[in-house]
Amino acid sequence: QRRAAEEEIAPVEEPEPVEDTGAPIDATELIARMGEARFMSEKKRITQELEGRSTEFSATIDRIRNRKDRNGMMEVEIIAEEEHFILSVPVEGRSIPKSLESGKGKIYIRGKVNGFHMARNAIIILAHDVE
Q: Which residue has the higher pLDDT, 8 or 49?
A: 49
Over 70: is that where the pLDDT of 18 sits? no
Residue in 5, 34, 9 with CA at minimum distance from that of residue 117 = 34
Compute the average pLDDT of residues 70-78: 94
CATH superfamily of the domain spanning 24-130: Nucleic acid-binding proteins (2.40.50.140)
Burial of 107 (0-12, 13-18, 19+ CB in 10 A): buried
User: How confident is residue 19, by pLDDT bands cut at 50, 70 and 90?
Assistant: low
